[in-house]
């Protein structure tokens, strides 16, 4: 199973999703989403009981079911904007939460995304959502600026260049750039050929204070972390949450 192979390579979490959130993706029902996640989640925990499962969903209903089945983290690309019940569901479950910035929906997010100042607007939006999540009782929150979720190539690189500014919000930062179009399109390649570019962006993200990397290639990412530790032994991020 691919998920258990990732765990064996050294992943801290296995992120499972049952509804594509790629730009242009069609929506699936909550029932269909859960039926895709459930057997994989159960299979991973049966094979690797110690594995920590993150559920990638923007639906409170699916998040609740996943946590009941053993997931220990909710990763929501909408930052609670697609389902107003999400913050309450995560607070009730008492699990950590990845709060991501998005402009639009998967079906529309890459149709001419616009910002007057992408860095400040994303910073302000994440700060507002973080305050609402904490007010709702969500304790552990990780922030994701949402590379590729309603951003142009220029927006993505502006956010990466200024990632350090987001530390002022007072929550750990997750970076998800692995094999995305911001890597392969400028290089004129493809997702399959994007590992080298992904590795470069991972190193730059760590230099700017990223605490968590969401990756496809665990072993390669572990190598980046190992080398980063030699440069910055005092600031190497550890597993989150501890």
Distance, CA of 106 to chain centre:
15
Map residue 10 onto helix, strand or coil.
Answer: coil
Do residues 120 and 167 touch, judged by C-beta distance below 8 A?
A: no
Do residues 17 and 57 touch, judged by C-beta distance below 8 A?
A: yes
Beta strands, E only, 65-164: 73-76, 97-100, 141-144
Annotated catalytic residue within 22, 180, 185, 222: 180
In b/e form, how buried is each residue of 67-77, taking b as 16+ CB within 10 angstroms?
A: beebbbbbbbb
Q: Is 180 in the active site?
A: yes
Q: Is 214 in the active site?
A: yes
Q: What are phi and psi of 240, to 5 degrees?
A: -125, 130
- In whole angstroms, how far apart are CA 188 and each of 20, 66, 155, 176, 215? 24, 38, 19, 20, 21
Residue ranges in 48-93 assigned as alpha helix (H) = 60-68, 86-93
User: What distance separates the 2 farthest-apart alpha carbons in the chain?
Assistant: 49
Annotated catalytic residue within 22, 48, 214, 222: 214
Joined together, the tokens standing for residue 120 give 């400040």
**Is the peptide bond between 241 and the residue preceding it cis, with omega within 30 degrees of 0?**
yes
Distance CA(184)–CA(186), nearest Å, equals 6
Active site residues: 180, 214
């Amino acid at each position: 199973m691919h998920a258990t192979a990732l765990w064996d390579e050294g992943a801290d979490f296995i992120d499972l999703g049952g509804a594509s959130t790629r730009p242009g993706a069609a929506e699936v029902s909550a029932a269909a989403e859960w039926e895709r996640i459930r057997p994989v989640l159960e299979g991973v925990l049966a094979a690797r009981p110690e594995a920590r499962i993150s559920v990638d969903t923007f639906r409170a209903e699916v998040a609740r079911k996943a946590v009941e089945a053993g997931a220990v983290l909710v990763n929501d690309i909408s930052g609670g904007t697609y389902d107003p019940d999400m913050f309450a569901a995560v607070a009730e479950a008492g699990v950590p939460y990845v709060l991501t910035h998005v402009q639009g929906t998967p079906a529309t997010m890459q149709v001419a995304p616009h910002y007057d100042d992408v860095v400040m607007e994303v910073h302000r939006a994440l700060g507002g959502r973080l305050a609402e999540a904490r007010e709702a009782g969500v304790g552990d929150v990780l922030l994701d600026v949402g590379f590729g979720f309603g951003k142009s190539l220029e927006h993505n690189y502006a956010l990466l260049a200024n990632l350090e500014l987001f530390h002022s919000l007072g929550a750990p930062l997750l970076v998800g750039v692995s094999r995305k179009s911001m890597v392969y399109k400028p290089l004129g390649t493809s997702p399959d050929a994007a590992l080298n570019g992904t590795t470069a962006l991972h190193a730059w993200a760590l230099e700017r204070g990223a605490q968590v990397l969401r990756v496809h290639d665990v072993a390669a990412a572990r190598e980046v972390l190992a080398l980063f530790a030699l440069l910055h032994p005092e600031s190497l991020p550890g597993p989150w949450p501890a």
